[in-house]
Amino acid sequence: NDNGTIVSFGEMLIDFVPTQSGVSLAEAPGFLKAPGGAPANVAIAVARLGGRAAFVGKLGEDEFGRMLAGILVENGVSDAGICFDAGARTALAFVTLRADGEREFMFYRNPSADMLLTEAELNIDLIRTAAVFHYGSISLITEPCRSAHLRAMQEAKEAGALLSYDPNLRLPLWPSAKEAREQIMTIWDQADIVKVSDVELEFLTGKDSVEDEVALTLWRPTFKLLLVTLGEKGCKYYTKDFRGAVEAFSVQQVDTTGAGDAFVGALLSKIVEDQSVLEDEKRLRVVLKFANACGAITTTKKGAIPALPNISEALALIEK
Ligand code: ADP
């Protein structure tokens, strides 16, 4: 297609998900290997929906790194921005499924390859082709990938990309909650599009509420669109001229992993087709309905990447 590329920057890893919930890691009867990492999920979400996507990040030169690169390519994501570290391992996460359905993560990052991406390893030519540059916050936690992240952002912005940010808070990875909050609130001063979940909104504002007055305390002058996702309640949107909510689709939820990434990928795939939707509430609502549909479908299947919809699945839910 002729639309611009969505370049997604950050970590890609493997989640080891126990085959039984409500037991400790040591008691798990077995594990499923689930590829993930929010920025990689977003790139695949875009490609599944027919958009052009590239992933920028570093993997270990090991069995898992090769597997993850293969998954990106099989799904139509460009690997031109991927590099491999011969000395470090691919990041791994061990998930505990609690009996109440919540997930807890333990990470192998000692350091993992994604944390070792350097500025010198960036494919600047690729980054400068981005129509949209999407990023999270995990790549900001440590050097050298923090400098690589900031440089990539700056290159994309200078070349005219819209910057899209989903903090994707993984609190246990940060040295402290205070530092997580400060870093997240600083980095998004440069973003055009920001998406937070209800849980992140409450964490960042310290308020036990997702009311508009609370969400709007996050607003920055650079923003073109602020989104708050609310799970089965859909999403809220804020621009400088209008605000509102779009209802979710009613589906049988099995596993919410990746729903937010599907939502972001769907949104970006539409924005890259026509940025003027950001200024037109009626058309933006159509785009957010599409994003809600993609998020909803992702909750109906296990895992993140296997559950991301293609365009016909998304349209089928909307037209149902
Ligand atoms: P995150 O994965 O970032 O926590 P959410 O869980 O809020 O994000 O999900 C993102 C979007 O996916 C929501 O805005 C909604 O449109 C859709 N979604 C998530 N959970 C459900 C659900 N149970 N039923 C229908 N839609 C859902």
The answer on pLDDT for 276 being more than 90 is yes
Q: Determine the distance separating the centroid of ligand 1 and the alpha carbon of 232, expressed in angstroms.
A: 6
Ligand 1 pocket by Cβ (under 6 Å): 197, 229-232, 234-235, 248-249, 251, 253, 256, 259-260, 263, 292, 295-296, 299
Rg (CA), the chain: 18
Question: Which amino acid is it at 45?
Answer: A
Within a domain: 126 = yes
Within a domain: 255 = yes
Confidence of residue 316 (pLDDT cuts 50, 70, 90): very high
**Atom 23 in ligand 1: residue holding the nearest Cα:** 232
Count Cα atoms within 13 angstroms, Cβ side, for 230.
19
Within a domain: 105 = no
Within a domain: 17 = no
**Atom 8 in ligand 1: residue holding the nearest Cα:** 260
> Is there a catalytic annotation at residue 189?
no
Q: Determine the distance separating the centroid of ligand 1 and the alpha carbon of 38, expressed in angstroms.
A: 14
The answer on pLDDT for 309 being more than 60 is yes
Q: What are phi and psi of 139, to 5 degrees?
A: -75, -5
Q: Determine the distance separating the centroid of ligand 1 and the alpha carbon of 56, expressed in angstroms.
A: 25
What is the pLDDT at residue 17?
A: 87
The answer on pLDDT for 1 being more than 60 is no
**Per-residue buried b or exposed e for 275-302, using 16+ beta carbons within 10 Å of the residue's own CB:** eebbeeeeebbebbbbbbbbbbbbbbee
Which structure tokens are listed for 137? 């916050």
Which structure tokens are listed for 34? 């689930």
**Atom 2 in ligand 1: residue holding the nearest Cα:** 260
For ligand 1, pick from 299, 317, 320 the residue to mutate: most ligand atoms within 8 Å of CB: 299
For residue 195, which atom of ligand 1 is closest to its CA? 3
**How many domains in the chain?**
1
Average per-residue pLDDT in the chain? 94
* Average pLDDT score over residue span 195-219: 94
For residue 166, which atom of ligand 1 is closest to its CA? 3
Task: List the catalytic residue out of 85, 114, 166, 261.
Answer: 261
Within a domain: 93 = no
Please list, in sequence order, all residues whose beta carbon lies within 8 angstroms of the beta carbon of residue 139, skipping any fewer than 6 positions away: 9, 10, 11, 39, 57, 114, 115, 117, 145, 146, 148, 149
**Atom 22 in ligand 1: residue holding the nearest Cα:** 232
Q: Interface pTM (ipTM) of the complex?
A: 0.98
Specify the CATH number for the domain of residue 208: 3.40.1190.20
Within a domain: 224 = yes
Confidence of residue 2 (pLDDT cuts 50, 70, 90): low
Q: Determine the distance separating the centroid of ligand 1 and the alpha carbon of 210, expressed in angstroms.
A: 15
Within a domain: 62 = yes
What is the pLDDT at residue 20?
A: 87
pLDDT tens, position by position, 8-63:
999 999 999 888 888 888 899 999 999 999 999 999 999 999 999 999 999 999 99
What is the pLDDT at residue 50?
A: 97
**pTM for this prediction:** 0.96
Within a domain: 65 = yes
Kindly state the helix (H) or strand (E) to which residue 225 belongs, with its residue range.
Answer: strand 225-229
Q: Determine the distance separating the centroid of ligand 1 and the alpha carbon of 304, expressed in angstroms.
A: 12
Confidence of residue 104 (pLDDT cuts 50, 70, 90): confident
For ligand 1, pick from 168, 228, 253, 256 the residue to mutate: most ligand atoms within 8 Å of CB: 256
pLDDT tens, position by position, 167-181:
999 888 899 999 999
Domain extent for 185: 5-12+36-88+112-319
